[in-house]
Amino acid sequence: MEIEIIFEDEDLLVLEKPAGITVNRSDTTKGERTVQDWMGQYIKGAEVAPPRRGSSRDFSPSQDFITRSGIVHRLDKETSGILLVAKNQEAFENLQQQFKERRVKKVYTALVHGKVVPSDGEIRVPVGRLPWNRKRFGVVAGGREAVTKYKVIRCFEVRNGKWDSESLNSRNQDVNPSADGSSSKISHFSLLEIYPETGRTHQIRVHLKHIGHPVFSDPLYAGRKTARNDRKVLFRMFLHASKIWFTHPKTEKLISFESPLPEELNELLNLLHS
């Protein structure tokens, strides 16, 4: 799986990040290739690019543009899709300001457990780190404001429960009622379009868990048993950053980009539809 370029000009890159690649370097990513490492190879000197002539801002090695290699926002390791990267400090600051003012609009696609009702809605509860587990987030008192809107695209029904992961891997899976026509077990799933109004860490995943519809194959928030069963049929989380709209930092024109679902996510939808 390789990072692909959707769009590039002298100010920015729009990347398509596959699942399984971490965006930012950290102490826990030693020996792991990150998007930052990719940036260092693709654009020589991107991490120390000076401001353009005439810039009123002083160049400082401590600025976020350098330490983050121009990466304006982040995606979780198992989330695929669109990632925005600035190629100079001015573009970086402009795009960051757009995110701060919530002028950047993003759409995610997610498959979740259960039949989501109502078919469109808004989740507005604060998100923060869990006091007893600082690596995870949840709905906590005193957390940061977080708003997620969603719309149900399609609902799926799987009868008589268990999926055969070997059959799925061979792309020859059938899910049928039992021989006597009974439905001893029915599992429901919903395909959602998600519109985050804020950008808190793990916000979408936490919010969907909060309303009782965790993301399919989410290793942190779906529950241990559920995630273990999910990952027999899908090795990654079903969450994809599919669309983005923002104002170009130089031309000031509104531009948008889309990213289709990766093959493995489409395969699972086809399985559910069969």
Q: What are the pLDDT digits (tens) for 25-38? A: 887 778 888 999 89
Residues 116 and 43 in one domain: no
The pLDDT tens digits of the residues spanning 149-179 come to: 999 999 999 876 545 444 343 333 333 434 4
Q: How many domains does the chain divide into?
A: 2
266 and 165 within one domain = yes
pLDDT of residue 60: 41
Q: Which of 76, 164, 174, 230 is catalytic?
A: 76
Structural domain span for residue 67: 1-101
pLDDT for res 197: 96
Assign 79 a pLDDT band (cuts: 50, 70, 90): very high
User: Which positions ≥6 away from 28 have C-beta within 8 Å?
Assistant: none
Distance CA 71, CA 143 (A): 25
Same domain, yes or no: 147 and 271 = yes
Q: How do residues 47-58 score in pLDDT, each as one tens digit?
A: 434 444 344 334
**Same domain flag for 112 and 85:** no
Reply yes or no on whether 76 is catalytic. Answer: yes
Same domain? For 186 and 214 the reply is yes
Helices marked H in the chain: 35-42, 64-67, 89-100, 165-169, 203-210, 224-230, 263-273
Report pLDDT digits (tens) over 96-132: 999 999 999 999 999 999 999 999 999 999 999 999 9
Assess whether 64 and 172 both reside in one domain.
no
* DSSP annotation of 46: G
**Residue entry with tokens 């940036």:** 39
- Please tell me the pTM assigned to this model: 0.85
Same domain, 272 and 152: yes
Supply 44's token pair. 């020589």
